[in-house]
Structure 1
């Protein structure tokens, strides 16, 4: 029984090192009292496995790898409740540097349908060493990644709005003072649209001339989480007959989760041939 209990405890750390959050969650009860106050200063909290793994997943993957070493297990069992104390050392590796945390743990488990599940998990901080600046460095990295992924979705929604012809979405995608620039537009076509309402009216008016629109695309993030390049192709059905196809490059600049500037580049020659435009 002691071996089985220790295996359950060990899975918490193995799952964290493997970034296998399901492995962590399945050994936890519906709620776990998580206490890292001796290190963080934050009070203990009663959390669900999903809340715990979400918090860990928002931080630990920022390291190149982590390695938890556990030892000196002592198990006490009374009826259907177990308490396990043990020593722990956690090495966090990033860019050829390491941050090490050492201490001991007390983990409590309860027997539930022949399965031991963690109900409380407390870390008793002893010391840390190595490069302690990695904490803030990795935290900043993960924050940038979070912003990048949120903004990537906003950029993707721009194309979804056009493909589904749900143009109302554009009012949420663009900031109120957002703008679209079309530097390659030929004479007689607008070079820019100022404000989300103007952008909405421009695109919603396309349904007078065009049917289904598809934009196969590749979205490229940059080091700046608020700036994206998009390479895409327009495959647009013309209601009067035929199809308009062109290749595009778009750049998106965002602030606070809204597009403040979209610049669109396309092949002018292809457009001119499709709509009998004189580029002279």
Structure 2
């Protein structure tokens, strides 16, 4: 009987524990794959996919190389730093070995030896050392929360970085261009919030165009040129208060890093009518060299007509009774 019980118990243990062991092996493999992918994606300049490997806040420690203390960074901030330099090299190669990962529930860690080589013309710089990573599991996805590099050996001159950064700035990668595109849109909308017309006017390209296909009768559906757009928005500071356009701003990237579709909610008190303008917007923006060249604006004309007194109930945007 005891043998039968023991056999049954062993069968139970095998049935219960084997799936858990397999799951842990899969998590270890996932973490090791991420560690190997960091260098590969960086060498290929694929910063968009690389950014997705990091948690919303990551501790970055390169103190053994730079002498600077560890910092907490956003994934976008970290990618911006790397994208401002790495694409300027003729070639980089991060060669990893001895990758080892461990999993403890929702937490993970990994170490790896690395040889990082950088070429630019006849210049060459190489570092050897060891990486240590920390991970957390977010709904089944392992994300990097901490990354530490320990320098062991260095070859060549760090003077290579100056020319590399110049080369990267002359031909910025897509992630940098996308950031410039988003920044131009944020500048425009925050300028309206702050009633800072210098910010608003400064964001337009000389030949900028704004399309407003749903503008109600009597309001333009197209405004062309920087001067025309400056005039179009000139009355905003006197006619609006308590504006909010960026609290719910969402961007949708396109294949072209200079083109982005944005959604946002608008709230503003309209002074001449005493009404609150609540709106949901969609906007297609084409940004060239940090300036908005095209803004195609989509909104509900009924909400516009109510807020600005075009419904015949109370006054009008011009303060008429």
Q: Within 2, Cα distance between the matches of 1:226 and 1:259?
A: 9
TM-score normalised by structure 2 residue count: 0.48
Q: Within 1, Cα distance between the matches of 2:127 and 2:238?
A: 68
Higher helix residue share: 2
Task: Provide the residue aligned with 2:278 in structure 1.
Answer: 245
Task: Provide the residue aligned with 1:22 in structure 2.
Answer: 60
Task: Provide the residue aligned with 2:303 in structure 1.
Answer: 270
Q: Retained in 2: the 8 A contact 1:226–1:254?
A: yes
What RMSD in Å do the two structures reach over aligned CA positions? 4.0
- Give the paired residue count: 186
Q: Within 1, Cα distance between the matches of 2:230 and 2:289?
A: 20
Task: Provide the residue aligned with 1:111 in structure 2.
Answer: none
> Judging changes above 3 Å, is the alpha-carbon distance between structure 1 residues 209 and 54 closer, same or farther for their aligned structure 2 residues?
closer
Structure 2 counterpart SS, 1:204: coil
Q: What does 1:221-236 correspond to in 2, within 5 Å? A: 221-236=253-268
What are the superposed Cα offsets for residues 15-36 of structure 1, whole Å, 9 maximum, x if unpaired?
x75987832x2112559xxxxx
Q: Within 2, Cα distance between the matches of 1:273 and 1:225?
A: 36
Q: What does 1:132-211 correspond to in 2, within 5 Å? A: 143-211=173-241
Q: Within 2, Cα distance between the matches of 1:245 and 1:182?
A: 17
Task: Provide the residue aligned with 2:165 in structure 1.
Answer: none
> Judging changes above 3 Å, is the alpha-carbon distance between structure 1 residues 89 and 148 closer, same or farther for their aligned structure 2 residues?
same
Q: Retained in 2: the 8 A contact 1:168–1:200?
A: no
Task: Provide the residue aligned with 1:121 in structure 2.
Answer: 154
Q: CA deviation at 1:207?
A: 2.5
> Judging changes above 3 Å, is the alpha-carbon distance between structure 1 residues 106 and 230 closer, same or farther for their aligned structure 2 residues?
closer
Q: CA deviation at 1:212?
A: 2.1
What are the superposed Cα offsets for residues 86-127 of structure 1, whole Å, 9 maximum, x if unpaired?
x9667xxxxxxxxxxxxxx7769xxxxxxxx9697117xxxx
> Judging changes above 3 Å, is the alpha-carbon distance between structure 1 residues 56 and 166 closer, same or farther for their aligned structure 2 residues?
closer
> Judging changes above 3 Å, is the alpha-carbon distance between structure 1 residues 201 and 276 closer, same or farther for their aligned structure 2 residues?
closer
Task: Provide the residue aligned with 2:317 in structure 1.
Answer: none
Higher strand residue share: 1
Q: CA deviation at 1:248?
A: 1.4
The unaligned stretches of length 5 or more in structure 1 are 1-12, 32-52, 61-65, 71-86, 91-104, 109-116, 124-141
Q: Within 2, Cα distance between the matches of 1:249 and 1:262?
A: 10
Q: What does 1:44-55 correspond to in 2, within 5 Å? A: 54-55=81-82
Q: Within 2, Cα distance between the matches of 1:56 and 1:213?
A: 35
> Judging changes above 3 Å, is the alpha-carbon distance between structure 1 residues 186 and 27 closer, same or farther for their aligned structure 2 residues?
same
> Judging changes above 3 Å, is the alpha-carbon distance between structure 1 residues 168 and 118 closer, same or farther for their aligned structure 2 residues?
same
Structure 1 counterpart SS, 2:293: strand
The unaligned stretches of length 5 or more in structure 2 are 1-34, 40-52, 69-79, 88-93, 99-112, 117-125, 130-149, 157-171, 313-321
Task: Provide the residue aligned with 2:166 in structure 1.
Answer: none
What are the superposed Cα offsets for residues 220-260 of structure 1, whole Å, 9 maximum, x if unpaired?
22111011111112211022422111221111011222111
Q: Retained in 1: the 8 A contact 2:128–2:154?
A: yes
Q: What does 1:251-266 correspond to in 2, within 5 Å? A: 251-266=284-299
> Judging changes above 3 Å, is the alpha-carbon distance between structure 1 residues 119 and 176 closer, same or farther for their aligned structure 2 residues?
farther
> Judging changes above 3 Å, is the alpha-carbon distance between structure 1 residues 158 and 56 closer, same or farther for their aligned structure 2 residues?
closer
